[in-house]
Structure 1
C-alpha cells in the first residue's frame, strides 16, 4: 500500500482531507499530517511516504522549502502543492523543483480524486519502466557473465563476444586478474580503476577483474584487508595485459586457492607465493592437477584415491592399448617431475634401471597395467617422502636465516627456493609444514616487527616503508594496520 502525508496550516483543510477522502479505495494509507514546515520534515523522515500533499504557504519554513529538501533527499517522492489564486510565481518555482501537480484553493473532493487518479497512473508507469529496466539490466549482466566465463575457458576465440558484452570501455582495459574464492557472497567494492565480474563455473566461485589503470594499489588494498577478516579463502592468478591470457590467470587462481585451503590459512594466497614448475604444463586436466597436488602435499591416502578416480576415467573412455599406455606414462612422468621438486638429484628416479616406458610394454592386460601403475606412483611418492624428511629441517632453517638477513630487499619465493636448491612450489609447502605458517606470512611478520622498532624511534612512515622492503607506501600501510591493528603513523605517534 502507498503512504501519503498532508502539510497545511489550515486546520479545516487537514481535517476535511482526512475525513472526506476514502484513501483506502486507492490503495493509499494516510500516515500523518503537519501544520508547519519543521514538523512536516520530521514527519517525512519518520514515515518515508510515497506521496506528499503540501500547501505553499506555511509558518516558519514554507512549503517550497520543505519540498525542495524532500526531493533532494528522495527524488522519487511524488509531491503535489496547494496554491492560492495569486500565487502563480510560487507555482512556477514549485514546478521547476519537480512537483507532479498543483491544485488551486479552495480544494474540493473532486480535485483530490482527479489528482490521486493521475498519481496512481504515474506510479504504475514508473513501476513498469523500472521493471523493464531491471529485466534489461539483469539480462545484460547475465550475458556479460557468460561471455566472461567463455573468456576463461576458451581464451582468444571468446574475445569478440566478450567485447560486445563488456561495452565500449573494453578498449580501456589494460589488464586482467582472476580470483577464485570459497564463498559465493564475496564481492569487491566497485572502483573507477577496475571492474569486477562475478562468475561461477560449477562449484568454482570466481571474480574476474578488468583493470583500467596500470597502478593497482586500490585493488591490492582490498585483497590485503578483506578476505581474512571474514574467514574466506581467496586465491589470485597473475595479472596479464592480454585478455587471451585470462585463461592462464584462471588456472593459477584455482591452484592458489587449493594451496591456501591446504595450508589452512584464510585470506589471500597469490599464485606468485606458491611457485610453479616450468617442467609441468599449465594445461593439465583437473584430475592430473589433483594427483600432482596429492604428491606435493605428501598425502599418500589422497593419492591412492585420485589414482583410482583416474583409472575409472580412462576405463570409461575405452582407450586402445597405445593411448592407454600414453595416458598412464604421462602421469608417471608428471609424478617424477614432482618428486624432483624435493631434490633434483633423487638418485632412484635418475637410476638407469628406472625405465617405465620400457616396463609398460611388457604388460599385456589392463588389470596388470593398472596394478603396475599404482605401484609405480606409490614408489615415486615414497622416494619423495624419504627425501623430504632428510632435507626438511636443514632447508627451512637455512631459508629462515636468509630471510632474516635480507627482509629489507625485494625478496621473492623463487630466490629463497633457489638458495636451498628446491622447486618453489614444493618449498612453499615444506616451509608451512615446518614453520606452521606460509613463507610470505613469515617474511611479512619479520618486516612488521622491524617496522615497529623503527617507528618507535620516531622515523618517518615513508622511510620505514622502504627500509623494511615495501616501495609502495599504501601497501605498507595496509599491511601494518592488518598485523598491528593501527596505521603506522598512529603507532609512531603513540610513542
Structure 2
C-alpha cells in the first residue's frame, strides 16, 4: 500500500481532504498531516511517504524549500503542490525541482481524485519498468551462472553456449581459474579480470576470468579479498583454454577440502597440497595392534591404540584423501572382525551404512577424527558386549549340562570341553559368574536333589548312586556337611 501525507496551513483543506477522499479505495494509507514546513519535514523523516500533497505557502519555511529538501533525500517521492492564482513563478520553480503535478486553489475533490489516479498510474509504470530491468539483469545473471556451471562440468562441450551468454569481451579472455569457497563472496569487477560467483546447492564457487597474463597478481588480489572476508577458499590451477575449466574446478574443490581439513585460513592453491603417502597398503604395527585388541574384546586397548594412530595422522598433516584411505582401511577391517563373530553387522549400523560416502561429507580434521573414533568406539563397544554375552551363554550352557548329567561322574574337564573352553579359564569364569566354584555348585545341586529323593523314601545307598556317588561313605560325609545330619537320620525324620 502506498503512503501519503498532506501539508497545508488551512484547517479546512486538511480536514476536507482527510474526510472526503476514500484513500484506502486507491490503495493509499494517509499517514498524517502538517500545518507548517518544520512539522511536515519531521513527518516525512519518520514515515517516508510515497506521495506528498503540499501548499506552496506555509509558515516557518515554504513548500518549495520543503520539496527541495525531500527530493534531495528521496528523489522517488511524488510531490504535488497547491498554488494560488498569482503564484505562477513559484509553480515554475516547483516544476524545476521535480514535482509531478500542481493543483490551483481552490482545491476540489475531483481535482484531488484525478491527481491521485495520475500518480498511481505513474507509480505503477515506474515500478513495472524497474521490475522489468531488474528481471532482465537477473535473468542474464542466472543464465550466465548456469552456463558457467555447465562449463565447469562439461568443458569443451559447453564452451560455445557459455561464450554466447558471456557476450562482449569473451575473446579477450586469456585464462580461467576456479575457486571453491566456504560461503558466497561478492567481488567487485576488476579492470584486468572478472569474477563470476556461482552457488550450486550448498557449494560456493567463484570463476576468475583473466583478461591479461598477469595471473599471479590477480591471485594476490583474490587472496586479499578472501582473507578480508574471513572465509576459506581453494584455488585450482589457471588454464589458458576454457576447455580445461573442469580440471581447475576439481582441483579447487580438492584444495578447499585440504584447507578445511587442516584449518587453514584464506586461500590455498592446489599446488600447496602435500600428497606424500603415509603408509603402504600393508597394515602397520599400530593398525595390527588395534585390530588385535578389537578381536580380543579389549575396548580400552583398542581405543588407546586408535588415539595413537590419530595423533600420528595429525602430526603428518597429509591431504584428507590419504587419511581417509587409512581410516577406511582400519574401519573395514574392524567390520570384518564383527562378521567373524557370526553376528549381523546391522546390529551396530543401519543396513545402508556406507562409511566411504559418509567420510567424504566431512571437512575439518577434528570433525573427521571425531567421526572415525565414534564409529570405531561403537564397534569396540559391541564387540566387548558380544564377547560378554558369549561368556554368559557358555556358563548357562554349562549349568544346563550339569543338571542333565549330575547323576554320573562329571568332571570339570568334561564340562569345559562341552562349552568349548580351556578348563582353567572355564573354572575361573564359572566362579566369577555363579559366585562359587564348579565343584561346590555341583555338590550343592546333588545334595538338594538327594534331599528330594530321601523325602520320597528312597534308600540311602540308592540315593547315593542316583546323585553320582558310588561311595556310600563319601556321600554320607558330604550330605552331613551340607545338611547337618547324615542321610539316614534325615530320611527317618521326614
1:192–1:55: structure 2 CA closer, same or farther, 3 Å change rule?
farther
Query: How many corresponding residue pairs?
Result: 289
| 1:160-184 Cα shifts (integer Å, max 9, x gaps) | 322322232445545433221234x
Match of 1:314 in 2: none
1:114–1:158: structure 2 CA closer, same or farther, 3 Å change rule?
same
SS at match of 2:99: coil
1:241–1:57: structure 2 CA closer, same or farther, 3 Å change rule?
farther
**1:37, 1:306 → 2: CA distance?**
81
State TM-score, norm by structure 1.
0.52
| 1:46-101 Cα shifts (integer Å, max 9, x gaps) | 10111111222333433223223322322222111111222223223322332221
Runs of 5+ consecutive residues of structure 1 not aligned to the other structure: 278-291, 308-428, 434-495
State TM-score, norm by structure 2.
0.52
1:15–1:273: structure 2 CA closer, same or farther, 3 Å change rule?
same
Q: CA deviation at 1:275?
A: 5.4
Runs of 5+ consecutive residues of structure 2 not aligned to the other structure: 277-317, 334-364, 370-494
Q: How does 1:204-223 map to 2 (within 5 A)?
A: 204-211=203-210, 214=214, 215-216=217-218, 218-223=221-226
Q: CA deviation at 1:109?
A: 1.0
Match of 2:29 in 1: 29
1:66–1:304: structure 2 CA closer, same or farther, 3 Å change rule?
farther
Deviates more, 1:258-267 or 1:28-37: 258-267
**1:79, 1:174 → 2: CA distance?**
52
Query: Does the alignment pair 1:50 with 2:50?
Result: yes
- Relative contact order, CA 8 A, sep 6+: which one is greater? 1
Query: Does the alignment pair 1:190 with 2:188?
Result: yes
**1:95, 1:57 → 2: CA distance?**
16
**2:93, 2:174 → 1: CA distance?**
48
Match of 2:119 in 1: 119
1:205–1:48: structure 2 CA closer, same or farther, 3 Å change rule?
same
1:234, 1:269 within 8 Å by CA — same for their partners in 2? yes
Match of 1:355 in 2: none
Q: CA deviation at 1:112?
A: 0.5
Q: CA deviation at 1:138?
A: 2.7
Q: CA deviation at 1:139?
A: 1.9
Q: CA deviation at 1:241?
A: 4.9
1:294, 1:300 within 8 Å by CA — same for their partners in 2? no
**2:4, 2:106 → 1: CA distance?**
20
Query: Does the alignment pair 1:20 with 2:20?
Result: yes
Aligned-residue CA RMSD in angstroms? Answer: 3.2
1:26–1:302: structure 2 CA closer, same or farther, 3 Å change rule?
same
**2:50, 2:255 → 1: CA distance?**
50
Query: Does the alignment pair 1:300 with 2:326?
Result: yes
Q: CA deviation at 1:187?
A: 1.9
| 1:144-163 Cα shifts (integer Å, max 9, x gaps) | 01111122223344333223
**1:114, 1:17 → 2: CA distance?**
13
Q: CA deviation at 1:190?
A: 2.7
Match of 2:161 in 1: 161
SS at match of 2:29: strand
Q: CA deviation at 1:43?
A: 1.4
Match of 1:76 in 2: 76
2:8, 2:36 within 8 Å by CA — same for their partners in 1? yes
Q: How does 1:263-342 map to 2 (within 5 A)?
A: 263-265=262-264, 267-274=266-273, 296-297=322-323, 299-302=325-328
